Amino acid sequence: MTLPQFFEPPYPVVRLSPKAEARAIRHGFPWIYAGEMVMDRRTSSLLPGSFAVLEDSERRPMGVVTVNPQSKIVARVLDQDPAAVIDESWIAARLSRALAHREALYDRPFYRLVHAEADGLPGVVIDRMGDLAVVQPNAAWSEAMLGVLVAALTRVTGISQVVKNGSGRARALEGLTEEIVMALGTAPDGPIEVPMNGATYFADVMGGQKTGLFFDQRPNHAFAAKLARGGRILDVFSHVGGFGLAALANGAEFALCVDASDSALSLARAGAENMGVWERFERRKGDAFEELERLAAEGQRFDVVVCDPPAFAPSKNALDAGLRAYERIARLAAPLVKDGGYLGLCSCSHAADLSKFRAASARGIGRAGRRGQIIWTGFAGPDHPTLPHLAESGYLKTLFFRL
């Protein structure tokens, strides 16, 4: 596919300021922040997403970057080869490498295919659901190159439907507008059926949260399902029934899903019906904090309780309030766990690292008058690789306590 004219080589040159940490970038750190680059008139006038050759302060080439003068992350490293050409073949090579890893892990094509910087495609998230993929172009370069990206994606995978999910906080930080549209093929007639951990889920790829489904919790769903075998599980912030349906598929006696979204709960119910376990499934729509208090007042108890909230601390400025929210969730959920039962607490907040999240969770359990031991510390599945240099790529933390 033909490149947009302003993305064709030869690329302009941009330069790090003397105070920038060039060694970290040479060793794999993928971002250059505003203030670390010489922002002369020529660099400042580059179109968002433009490609450039990055030089250090002594004019030594370091690689090819994509530049967005409007973003706090003013440049992202694409390739450490200064002679690299970012075109469809380059993207296809990155996609082929990512695909080979997923095909080694999973028997069926349902997984996160691209996990942004960790897969060498900065700001790009792609979830695959059979013959359909949902692409989140969260960086300016991927928005401008979407047609080329989709062409490479179909060339590598053979899929026939691609949804562009242009929503979320990351796009706003890049100065991008929001939209969810078909980038290839026609829109699906309804939710997409997704098999995972023996359960059946339904993903609303045109109107649901994120890409419509959360593949990242796959190993943690499986662990919780083992704990819930033969027992009762409460899945709070359940979305389309992630923990609850996995438990029912693997021998749980009963699952109650709680979420604020009626449409998400309807999809969870559809999954239970598809699996033939709807008689063991219940749902409640409402505010999670209020529902936890209501369940306690009713005297309800469960063998397993899992709380998987949205990011309470999406930024450093929100960290203190976010940690208080995680503590409150733990305090309200702990009384609902039977003696000897299990409490699973999750965080997808970049700003709350594992130690802070663990401490907040333990405080909440203690304030509820309970004591527990940590039996499982889980993270995102292996289709969500972590870039060692970028802590943000390892955002998900899941703790299971035996109380």
> Which fold would CATH assign to domain 192-402?
Rossmann fold (3.40.50)
Closest listed residue to residue 348, CA positions, set 317, 379, 318, 388: 379
Determine the pLDDT at residue 5.
59
Q: How confident is the model at residue 2 (pLDDT cuts 50, 70, 90)?
A: low
Pick the more confident residue, 7 or 318: 318
Query: Which CATH number does the domain 5-79 belong to among 1.10.1040.10, 2.30.130.10, 3.40.50.300, 3.30.365.10?
Result: 2.30.130.10
Q: Are 291 and 258 in contact (CB under 8 A)?
A: yes
Q: Are 265 and 283 in contact (CB under 8 A)?
A: yes
- Mean pLDDT score, 174-180: 93
Determine the pLDDT at residue 51.
97
pLDDT > 70? residue 18: yes
Does the domain formed by 88-184 have CATH 3.40.50.880? no
State how beta strands 192-196 and 179-184 pair: unpaired
Which are the contacts of 326, defined by CB distance < 8 A and separation ≥ 6?
309, 312, 313, 345, 347, 352, 357, 360, 361, 364
Quote the tokens at residue 188.
């699906």
Pick the more confident residue, 163 or 2: 163
Quote the tokens at residue 373.
């031991």
Q: How confident is the model at residue 22 (pLDDT cuts 50, 70, 90)?
A: confident
Q: How confident is the model at residue 277 (pLDDT cuts 50, 70, 90)?
A: very high
Determine the pLDDT at residue 258.
98
Closest listed residue to residue 22, CA positions, set 75, 68, 83, 67: 75
Domain boundaries, the chain: 5-79, 88-184, 192-402
Give 301-311 pLDDT, tens digit per residue: 999 999 999 99
Give 54-109 pLDDT, tens digit per residue: 999 999 999 999 999 999 999 999 999 999 999 999 999 999 999 999 999 999 99
Quote the tokens at residue 196.
């995972």
How many percent of the chain have pLDDT more than 70?
99
How many percent of the chain have pLDDT more than 90?
90
Determine the pLDDT at residue 350.
87
**CA 76 – CA 283 distance, rounded (Å):** 43
**Which spans in 231-311 are helix H?**
242-249, 262-275, 288-297
Closest listed residue to residue 160, CA positions, set 133, 135, 181, 142: 133
Element (H, E) at 227: helix 218-227
In 3-state terms, what secondary structure has residue 348?
A: coil
**CA 266 – CA 272 distance, rounded (Å):** 10
- Mean pLDDT score, 244-257: 98
Give 359-397 pLDDT, tens digit per residue: 999 999 999 999 999 999 999 999 999 999 888 788 999
- Mean pLDDT score, 186-200: 97
Give 219-244 pLDDT, tens digit per residue: 999 999 999 999 999 999 999 999 99
Q: In what order do the strands lie in the sheet with 73-79?
A: 13-15, 50-55, 61-67, 73-79, 31-33
Determine the pLDDT at residue 6.
60
The structure's pTM equals: 0.95
- The number of helices, as runs of H, and strands, as runs of E, in the chain is 12, 19
Quote the tokens at residue 129.
């659901």
